[in-house]
Structure 1
Amino acid sequence: METEALLLEARESVEAARTYRRELQQRLKGLQLARQQIKESAALTRDVLEQHFNDLKGTLRKLLDERLVSLLQEVDAIEEESIKPLDECRKLIEQGVGTADELLREGETVIHGVTGEESDKLCSFTKKALHIQLDSLPEVPSLVDVPCLSAQLDDSLLTVVRNQIFNHGAVASRPPIQIEELIEKPGGIIVKWCKVDEDFVPQDYRLQYRKITASHFEDVYVGSDTEFIVLHIDPNVDYQFRVCARGDGRQEWSPWSVSQTGCSTLVPHEWTPGFEGYSLSSRRNIALRNDSQVGGVLYSRAPTYYCGQTLTFRIETVGQPDKKDSIGVCVAQQNGADSLQRDKAVCVSTNGAVFVNGKEMTNQLPAVTSGSAVTFDIEAVNLGPSNNNNEGGNFKLRVTIGSNNREVVFDWVLDQSCGSLYFGCSFSYPGWKVLVF
C-alpha cells in the first residue's frame, strides 16, 4: 500500500511537472511574440520616419527651387522693363552723335574751303545747323532714379524652420487607442476599444478589419462611439481588427492599435428564403416587404436565437404602419398566421405596442422609425418541475425588449422548456426593410 501511495504521488508530481513545463513554454511563446512585436514595430517605425523625412526633404527642395525660379524671373522682368527706356534713350543719343559728327565734318570742310564766291555754302550749312537744334539735349535719368536691384532675404526663416523641424514628429512606445474586447454575435463581432494615453483627447475613431488571409484592411466605422458591431462576418473565420483615433482639432490619425484577432462561432441569423411577400439580401439577414399581395409572417430559417444572447432588429426603411405589424420571437413557426400577435410568441408592433402570447401589455415602447433598433434579451428564470411534462406551465423566460432608450421587462410563461427560438416579422404594407443580427 505504501508503494502504491508513493507511486501515485510520483505520478502526480510527473503530471504537475508536465503541466508546469507546458505553462512555461506558453510563457516563452508569449515572450517571443512580445519581443517580435517590439522588433517589428521598431523596424516599421524606422521605415516610416525615413520615408517621411525623405519626402519632406524632396518637397522642401522642390519648394525652394520653385521659389528661387520665381524670384529670378522677377529679377529678369524688372531688368528688362528698366533697361528698355535706357536703350531707347541710348539709340536717340547715338543718332544725335552721328548727326553731330556728320555736321562737324561738313562744317569743317565748308570753313576750310570757303572763298568769297562760296558764301552760299556757308549760308546753307548755317541753316542746316539751326534746323538740327544743336541746343536740344535728351534727358538722361540720374542713377537714383533708375532701379538698383537687390535681394531681400530674411534670415529669421531659418530660425522658424529650425524650430519647426526640431519639434516635428514624435515617437510613442504605445498607440493611444487599444482594442479592449471582441464579442461574438451571430454573423457579427462587437468590437470595443478604449484610450490608454490619458493625455490624448480623441475626437473621432476609425475601425478597420480584414480576413486573416486578406492583404488589406478595410474601413468599417468612423465616428465618436467606442464600440461597433461589424456585420457580414463569416462563421468560424478569423478576422483581424485595428483602431486608431484623431486628436481633437487635428487632421492626422494616430498610430494603429495592436491588431486583435477574433471570430464568431455562432450561426448567422437568416430569414427563410422563398417567401413571396419578402425579398432578401444575399446574406439573407435583411428582409424587404415587397408589393406582393401575399402577406403573413416571415420566420427565421432555423431557431438560431438562444437565451443569453441579444437579438437586434434594425429598421432600415419604413412603410405604412398597421396594427398587425410585428417583430419578435416565437417557440415555433405557425404557417398561415398573419402576425406574431399570437400564442407562444412575444413581439412589438410598429406603433410600439408589446404583445405576449397574443395579449397586449399595458406598457408600450416608442413607435419605430427609420434607423430604430429593437432588441430582445431573454434569460431563463427556472426550468419548472422536475417531471418531463413540465405541468403547471411554470417554465419562465425573463424578457427585456428595448427600443429608443426605453425598455419593457416581463416574464414569459410557457408550458414547456425551450432551448432555442425562432424570430420573425410581419408587415401589412410594402416598404419596410429590417436587418437582423
Structure 2
Amino acid sequence: MNLKGGWRMSVEVDLLLQEAKESIEAAQNYRSELQQRLHGLNQARKQIRGSSGQARETLQRHFAVLQAGATRLLNERLAALLAEVDAIEANSVKPLDDCQSLIENGVGQADELLREGEAALRCGLGEKEDKLGSFTKKAMHIQLDSLPEVPALVDVPCVSAQLDDSLLGLLRERVSRHGSVSSHPPVQIEELQERPGGILVRWCKVDEDFAAADYRLQYRRSGSGGSQYEDSYIGRDCEFLVLHLDPHTEYLFRVCARGEGRSEWSPWSVSQTGYTTLAPHEWCPGTEGYILSSRRNIALRSDSSNSLFPVLYSNTATYFCGQTLTFKISAAGQMDQRDSLGVCVDSGREAESLQRDQAVCISTNGAVFVNGKEMTNQLPAITVGSAVTFDMEVVNLFPSSNNHLSEGGNFKLRVTIGSGNREVVFDWLVDQAVDSLFFGCSFAHSGWKVLVY
C-alpha cells in the first residue's frame, strides 16, 4: 500500500469514527427525549387516574351525605305526621271515653235499682209499703228518662293520610340534574411571570360555555413541608400579582371560577409551579422623616417639620429594564410641586427631589420630569388609590471608536410612565450603560404612604 492510499484510508476511518460518534450522540439525545416523553406520559396517566379517584371519592361522599340527609328528613317528616295522628286520636277518643264512663255508671245504677225493685216486690206485706216507697223515691232521683247523647259516626273524626305521589317525580327530576362530571376544569393557569418578590399569575377560561362571575386564586409553598393553600385573590380579573414570596422557593398556584348566579365554585385548575429569582423591592431604612413597614416595601412620610427634604431611595438597584415598577398610593398628604416618584441611576446625590439629572419622575400634581426638566405632557394628579407604573427598555447603544460605550449620553432607554388611564412615552439618555436602576420618592408634607412592587 502506498503512502497516498494509507492517508486516504486514515481519512475514511476518521470520517467513520466521527459519523459513529455523531450517531451515538444522536441516539443518546433521542433516547433522552423519548425518556422525557415517557415521563410526561406517566405524569399524564397519574393525573388522569389520580383526579378520577378523587372525583369518585367526592361523588361517593357527597351522595352518601345526601342519602343520610334525605333519610333523616323523611324519618322526621314521618314522625311528625304520626304525631299528628296520635294527637287527633287522643283528642277525639277522650269525649267518647267520658261518655262511656257515664253510660257504664248509669247501667250500674239501673242494675242496682232493678235488684231493689225485685226485692221490694218479693217482701212480705209488713215491709212492702216501706220497700216500695223507698224504691220509688230512688227511681225518681235517678231520672230514668234522662239518657246521654252518643255522637253519630259522621260527627266523629275518621283519620286519614293524604300523600302526594308527585314528590318522587320531582325528586327524580332534580336528582337526574344534580351534579356533573367534566374532563377539564373550566379555567386554567396560562402564565406565571416572575416579579421582584412575587409572581404575576395569568389565567383564562378553557370552557367557553362557562359564564364566570368571579375567579379565585390560591397558592401555597411547594414540597413536603408546604403549607395549606390560602386565598390570594377573588374577583373578576384574569391576572393577579402575588407578592411577599421568598426568592428561589417553589410555590404551587391554582385557580377556579364561580358561575353567574351560582354560589358554589368550580373544580380547581391543574396546579402550576412557579418561583421568582428576583429579590423584592425594598426602601432603604434609616432615612429621616420616613417610617417603613416590616417588609420595607411600604414607606410613610411621617415628619415634615424638619427643614430637610430628603429623598427616600431603594435599598439597592433592584429595578431592571423589561420589568414593570409600580408605586401604589394608600394614603395622601398635602401636595407640593417638589414631590416625586421615579427611578434614577444612583442614590448618592444630595437632592431634595428626583427632579434632577439622571432621573425620571412624576410629581403628585401629574407633572413629568426627565433629567430635571419638566415635560409638556402631564399625567393625572396622584391621589389615594393611584397606581403609577414605570416600564423601560433599551432602545439602542452608540458605541465609540474603541467599541466601548463612550461617555455623555450614549445609553438610551425608552420610558413609559402610566397613571390612571393615561401614559407618556419618551426616550431617556443617561451618562453610562446601567444594568439596573434605583427607585425613590420624596414628599414635602407628611401623610403620604406608598407601596412599591
1:304 to 310, 315, 318: 318
Structure 1 segments, 4+ long, off by >4 Å, are: none
Assess, with a 3 A threshold, how the Cα gap between structure 1 residues 346 and 114 changes in structure 2: closer, same or farther: farther
Partner of 1:361: 375
CA drift of 1:67 comes to: 1.3
Q: Secondary structure at the match of 1:92?
A: helix
Contact kept? 1:382, 1:396, Cα under 8 Å? yes
Partner of 1:210: 220
Assess, with a 3 A threshold, how the Cα gap between structure 1 residues 127 and 415 changes in structure 2: closer, same or farther: same
Partner of 1:395: 411
Partner of 2:5: none
Give, as a single letter, the amino acid of the residue that structure 2 aligns with 1:240.
L
CA drift of 1:307 comes to: 0.8
Residues 322-342 of structure 1 deviation map (CA, whole Å, 9 limit, x = unaligned): 222211111111454222122
Residues 210-258 of structure 1 deviation map (CA, whole Å, 9 limit, x = unaligned): 0003142111111111111111111110000001111111111111111
Residues 94-121 of structure 1 deviation map (CA, whole Å, 9 limit, x = unaligned): 2222222232222332333373775454
Q: What is the TM-score normalised by the length of structure 2?
A: 0.91
Partner of 1:249: 261
2:236 to 210, 214, 224: 224
Assess, with a 3 A threshold, how the Cα gap between structure 1 residues 144 and 414 changes in structure 2: closer, same or farther: same
Q: Distance in 2 between matches of 1:267 and 1:215?
A: 22
Q: How many residues align?
A: 437
Q: Which moved more, 1:221-230 or 1:210-219?
A: 210-219
Q: Distance in 2 between matches of 1:293 and 1:195?
A: 53
Q: Distance in 1 between matches of 2:216 and 2:416?
A: 32
Partner of 2:32: 22
1:346 to 335, 340, 360: 360
1:111 to 121, 131, 136: 121
1:43 aligns with 2:53: yes
RMSD of the alignment, in Å? 1.9
Partner of 1:271: 283
Identity value in percent = 67
Q: Distance in 1 between matches of 2:422 and 2:438?
A: 24
CA drift of 1:181 comes to: 0.5
Residues 138-174 of structure 1 deviation map (CA, whole Å, 9 limit, x = unaligned): 2211112111212222222222222322332222111
CA drift of 1:389 comes to: 6.0
Q: Which runs of 5+ in 1 are unaligned?
A: none
Contact kept? 2:187, 2:206, Cα under 8 Å? yes
Give, as a single letter, the amino acid of the residue that structure 1 aligns with 2:361.
C
Q: Distance in 2 between matches of 1:132 and 1:194?
A: 97
Partner of 1:286: 298
Partner of 1:75: 85
Q: Secondary structure at the match of 2:437?
A: strand
2:400 to 374, 386, 398: 386
Q: Distance in 1 between matches of 2:227 and 2:346?
A: 43
1:424 aligns with 2:434: no
Give, as a single letter, the amino acid of the residue that structure 2 aligns with 1:241.
F
Q: Distance in 2 between matches of 1:73 and 1:429?
A: 76
Contact kept? 1:276, 1:292, Cα under 8 Å? no
Contact kept? 1:246, 1:252, Cα under 8 Å? yes
CA drift of 1:344 comes to: 1.4
Partner of 2:342: 328
Contact kept? 2:411, 2:432, Cα under 8 Å? yes
Assess, with a 3 A threshold, how the Cα gap between structure 1 residues 20 and 81 changes in structure 2: closer, same or farther: same
1:233 aligns with 2:233: no
1:5 aligns with 2:21: no
Q: Secondary structure at the match of 2:231?
A: strand
CA drift of 1:291 comes to: 3.6
CA drift of 1:270 comes to: 0.8
Assess, with a 3 A threshold, how the Cα gap between structure 1 residues 104 and 381 changes in structure 2: closer, same or farther: same
Q: Distance in 1 between matches of 2:62 and 2:184?
A: 20
Assess, with a 3 A threshold, how the Cα gap between structure 1 residues 123 and 193 changes in structure 2: closer, same or farther: same
Q: Distance in 2 between matches of 1:328 and 1:243?
A: 34
Q: Which moved more, 1:29-38 or 1:159-168?
A: 159-168
CA drift of 1:193 comes to: 0.7
Q: Which moved more, 1:140-149 or 1:219-228?
A: 140-149
CA drift of 1:371 comes to: 2.1
Q: Which moved more, 1:263-272 or 1:157-166?
A: 157-166
Give, as a single letter, the amino acid of the residue that structure 1 aligns with 2:199.
I
Residues 350-394 of structure 1 deviation map (CA, whole Å, 9 limit, x = unaligned): 222212122222211112222221100011112233254634524
